[in-house]
Structure formats: C-alpha cells, structure tokens
Amino acid sequence: MPIYEYRCESCAEKFEVLTRFAERDRAQVCPTCESTKTRVLVSSFAVTGSSESFASDFAGESTGGGCCGGACGSCGSSPN
C-alpha cells in the first residue's frame, strides 16, 4: 500500500496515511485537530543516493540497452 500525504483544511497540518489507492480520496482524520476536512496532496518521490554514485553507475555504458540503445541492430530498420 502506498503512503499518501494529506493537508488538513482546518488547521493546515500535513500528515501521511498508509492506505489503498481506491481509498486515497476518502476524507482522513487529522491527527492534530481530528477534523475530517482533509485533502490529498500531490507528492513527488525521492531518489536516495548521491549524484556521483548515480553518474558512475551509468558512466561508460555505450552499448545501449534494449531497442532504444541501438545495440540490437534492428533500430531504425524496417521489417521488410
């Protein structure tokens, strides 16, 4: 189950709830003021690790991968 972030319309507190996708738009109870006037927020995801480790993981990969990398030899050629 995903974690969704909500904001209370009464006290402006932000909080997280572990709930099913089908129930994410249902009003949640604010843990601060116990109001049910809450709204789900659009959240982004976080990537952990440093940018140097990410860059070094992919440095030197010139063979590509899958069809988009061109390594299979079939990219850009027609089947006939």
3-state class (DSSP) for residue 7? strand
Q: Which pLDDT score, from 0 to 100, does residue 42 have?
A: 85
The DSSP code for 73 is S
β-pair type (14-18, 38-40) = unpaired
Rg (CA), the chain: 22
Domain boundaries along the sequence of the chain: 3-40
Over the chain (80 residues), the average pLDDT of each successive run of 10 is 93 94 92 95 71 55 54 56
Whole-prediction pTM = 0.53
